[in-house]
Each structure stands twice: as structure tokens, then as C-alpha cells.
């Protein structure tokens, strides 16, 4: 089994959630079935497809952990495309056309005005060729029988080729559109499965005839429902929300991948720590036909849940040196980003500015400083301190815990105080309580 993901380098941005989702599903399908995951860079448009943009695609995939088994670039394969093009032309499956875009648009409007499908009308054999006009080239569809195939997501598909225009495969400047080169690549590389969005279903019908015209068995297709914004409309912002944005925001790749693997399926969306775990339950039978609703807020939630269960070994190289395993285990349940761990270094290991304590709370903090001196700090100083303060002051709940947390950490909220106070230690705790008491 071999599956392929195609990306066209573009100056409009890096990989966004839509094409990341497609690449992920290709990779998971290959992993589950022991197949190969290929990356094809569709850089036939040499003006737009620079080395910088191609490198950005590879960088984003590497950051996401979606490492292809092999990569090819279409700009290296023009000789192969030329040979197969000539083969199809000699067989009569490729033919030259001379209409201008304006002429084609006018004819399309005429057909629509008559209530007819706007299908390209082939010129009769022997029609005159205009002088000085370079042709564009179309693939000649066979109209004798319906095009049928079984889609892994959409089920059985059937198209009447008479209602589909012969597709343009090559422009008048000899540059390629992606339809035919992609099929030539798929045959040459032994691609068996193609996963892509449902907006390509009719293209797949056309490409099936291209496979057959070149004497090859068509690949198996899986066309996924499109990704839409949470409010139910196609959202332009999804086009810029992706790998580059997430890297800048410090989001874990697996938070995004966990969401993209499951939305639009019958499987629960949950924080999954590895691609292997995602692949184990990946099945196109779980995919629905309704649009998959994507909400960036869900990525944020999954990112926090993922961090809450990561072991120290998973993050050690990304933490400040002063954050060891003990500190990580205390902090992780309160983090939304790994970078936030660094914000707790002063609380754990440094002097902090005394917080502004309300006058009514100062007696409590004074008493806390007195009692803290007498506690066994090798046991559970936090609960020992709060139990003693309940007994001596009558305070409990928020009225007790909030002033203490503020005095000890200069923060209104944070990790559980029991293990946090042990990390702060007796000396710093006494200094902070004394300073806060004024």
C-alpha cells in the first residue's frame, strides 16, 4: 500500500488546517496498514513554486511529526510527463484546443441560458486551426459508459462522462495543470490510495479514465467532507490557521493532530499523545458525510489536556534548567503552554515582590508565619498549616486559602498548594509570609 499527499508551494502561506488534516489522514492510513506515506510537491508552476516555499512545506510536516517515507517534486519529472503526454496524443486521448478564455466563458453562459449543462463542446474533426494561436490541451473523455468507483468515505460513486467537460491538462504556454501529471506520478510511484477533500470527487472520476488510458489500475479514493469553521460557514481564517501560527503560539502538534484525526468521525475527540495511538483507531468507516466543524478553541483545550498528562521525559529539553521532574509534575496540571512553566521559576526558586495584602488579612498572615516556623516540613506543611489556622482563627474556605496563596506565591491561582509549598520550601515560605504581613 502506498498513499500520497500533494502540496503546491505557494507564497500565500504555510500549511493550514485543511491540508494538514489531509496529510494526517494519509499518514495514519499508511501507518495502520503498514504502507508507505509519500509527499509530492506539485511545483510545475515554476514562477510561484520557489525553493523557499517548498522547504516551508517540509519544515511544517517535520514539526507536526508527519514524516513521509519518500518525497518527489514534479519539477524533476517533466520528461516523464512529456513521454506519457505524447503517448496519449498519439492514441487520440489528448487533443489541441484554440478557444480563448473569453470565448469559453461566453459559450458557457449561452449553454446555461438554454438550460443546458455548461460542458465543453468538442470541435468537429478537421476544423480549421487559427493562425498564430498556441493551443491548450484537453483530455478526451470516453462517453460510452458511466464512470463508477467505490469511495472509502462516500460509498459507491457514479458519473455520466457526457456531463463532464474534457479537462484541460496543459496550458497554451505548455505548463501543466495537476490532473494528468498527478496520475502519471501515481502510476510511476505505485500509489494505491488517495485521500483528499470531497471537492475533488469529479476530478477523481476524470482521473480514473486517465489511469485506464495509460493502462493502469486506478487508485482507491477516499473523499473527506470539507472542514468548516465552527459557526458553520467556510472561514477564511482557517486558511491562515495552521502550522506556522501554532508554532508561534507554542501549541503542541499533537493537540492539533488529535483534533483533526477525530472531528467529522464517530470517534470521540480526545488528547492523544502519539501518532501510533491515533493510527490504531483510524478507520474511514467512522467518517461522516457532514462537514467537519473546526474550532481553534478546541485546539487550546486539547493542548492543555495533553500537557496535563505528559511525562517529564517528553518535555525536559524544552523546560528551564531549574524545572526538574518534581517541579514539572506539580506545574503541568495548571499549564496551557509549556512556555508557561518558566513563569513559575521565580515562585519556586527566587525572591518575589511582597503582594499587597488587605489589612483584614494581615493578622492571618502573621499567625501563618508564626505557625509555619513550628511545622514539620518533611511531612505535609500546607495541610498542617491550614488546619492549625482554622483552629486558631476560625477562617476556612476562600477566606483562608486565598490570602495564604497570595502571600506565598503572589498569585491568585495556580497549582495545588500542598505539593507547591513543599517545592517552595520552609525558608522562602517564612520570608514571604513575614514580608506579606508587613
Annotated binding site: 236
- Specify whether the CB–CB gap between 165 and 124 falls below 8 A: no
C-alpha cell at 385: 498549616
Tell me the DSSP string of 82-114: HHHHHHHHHTTSEEEE---HHHHHHHHHHHHHT
- Specify whether the CB–CB gap between 107 and 146 falls below 8 A: no
The angle formed by the CA atoms of residues 271, 272 and 278, to the nearest 5 degrees, is: 135
Q: Detail the residues annotated as belonging to a binding site for ATP.
A: 236
13: which DSSP letter?
A: -
- Specify whether the CB–CB gap between 19 and 276 falls below 8 A: no
Which residue do the cell numbers 520570608 mark?
Answer: 431
- Helices then strands (H, E): number in the chain? 18, 12
3-state secondary structure 274-331: CHHHHHHCCCHHHECCCCEEECHHHHHHHHHHHHCCCCHHHHHHHCCCCCCHHHHHHH
Cβ partners under 8 Å of residue 146, min gap 6: 158, 159, 160, 161
CA atoms within 13 A on the CB side of 26: 32
Give dist(CA 291, CA 288) in Å, integer. 8
Give dist(CA 341, CA 250) in Å, integer. 12
Cβ-in-10-Å burial (0-12, 13-18, 19+) of 438 comes to exposed
Helix (H, G, I), strand (E, B) or coil at 222: strand
Amino acid at each position: 500500500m502506498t498513499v500520497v499527499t500533494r502540496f503546491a508551494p505557494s507564497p500565500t502561506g504555510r500549511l493550514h488546517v485543511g491540508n494538514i488534516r489531509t496529510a494526517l489522514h494519509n499518514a495514519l492510513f499508511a501507518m495502520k496498514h503498514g504502507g508507505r506515506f509519500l509527499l509530492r510537491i506539485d511545483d510545475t508552476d515554476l514562477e510561484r513554486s520557489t525553493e523557499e516555499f517548498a522547504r516551508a512545506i517540509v519544515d511544517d510536516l517535520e514539526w507536526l511529526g508527519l514524516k513521509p517515507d519518500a518525497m518527489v517534486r514534479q519539477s524533476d519529472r517533466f520528461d516523464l510527463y512529456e513521454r506519457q503526454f505524447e503517448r496519449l496524443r498519439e492514441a487520440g486521448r489528448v487533443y489541441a484546443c484554440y478557444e480563448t478564455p473569453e470565448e469559453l466563458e461566453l459559450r458557457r453562459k449561452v449553454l446555461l441560458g438554454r438550460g443546458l449543462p455548461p460542458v465543453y463542446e468538442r470541435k468537429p474533426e478537421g476544423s480549421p486551426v487559427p493562425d498564430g494561436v498556441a493551443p491548450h490541451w484537453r483530455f478526451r473523455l470516453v462517453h460510452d459508459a458511466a464512470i463508477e468507483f467505490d469511495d472509502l468515505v462516500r460509498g459507491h460513486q457514479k458519473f455520466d462522462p457526457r456531463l463532464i467537460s474534457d479537462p484541460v491538462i496543459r496550458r497554451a504556454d505548455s505548463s501543466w495543470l495537476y490532473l494528468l501529471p498527478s496520475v502519471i506520478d501515481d502510476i510511476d510511484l505505485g500509489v494505491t490510495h488517495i485521500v483528499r477533500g470531497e471537492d475533488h470527487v469529479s476530478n477523481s472520476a476524470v482521473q480514473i479514465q486517465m489511469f485506464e488510458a495509460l493502462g493502469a489500475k486506478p487508485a482507491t479514493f477516499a473523499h473527506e467532507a470539507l472542514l468548516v469553521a465552527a459557526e458553520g460557514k467556510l472561514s477564511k481564517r482557517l486558511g491562515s490557521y495552521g502550522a506556522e501560527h501554532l508554532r508561534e503560539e507554542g501549541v503542541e502538534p499533537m493537540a492539533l493532530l488529535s483534533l483533526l484525526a477525530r472531528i467529522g468521525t464517530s470517534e470521540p475527540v480526545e488528547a492523544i499523545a502519539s501518532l501510533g495511538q491515533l493510527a490504531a483507531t483510524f478507520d474511514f468507516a467512522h467518517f461522516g458525510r457532514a462537514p467537519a466543524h473546526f474550532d481553534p478553541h478546541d485546539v487550546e483545550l486539547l493542548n492543555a489536556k495533553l500537557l496535563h498528562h505528559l511525562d517529564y521525559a517528553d518535555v525536559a529539553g524544552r523546560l528551564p534548567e531549574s524545572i526538574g521532574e518534581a517541579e514539572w509534575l506539580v506545574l503541568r496540571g495548571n499549564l496551557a503552554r509549556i512556555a508557561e512553566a518558566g513563569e513559575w521559576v521565580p515562585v519556586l526558586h527566587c525572591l518575589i515582590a511582597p503582594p499587597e495584602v488587605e489589612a483584614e488579612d494581615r493578622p492571618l498572615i502573621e499567625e501563618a508565619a508564626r505557625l509555619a516556623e513550628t511545622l514539620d516540613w518533611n511531612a505535609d506543611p500546607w495541610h498542617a498549616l491550614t488546619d492549625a489556622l482554622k483552629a486558631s482563627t476560625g477562617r476556612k474556605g476562600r477566606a483562608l486559602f486565598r490570602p495564604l496563596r497570595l502571600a506565598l506565591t503572589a498569585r491568585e491561582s495556580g497549582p495545588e498548594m500542598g505539593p507547591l509549598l513543599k517545592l517552595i520550601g520552609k525558608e522562602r515560605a517564612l520570608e514571604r509570609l513575614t514580608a506579606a504581613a508587613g
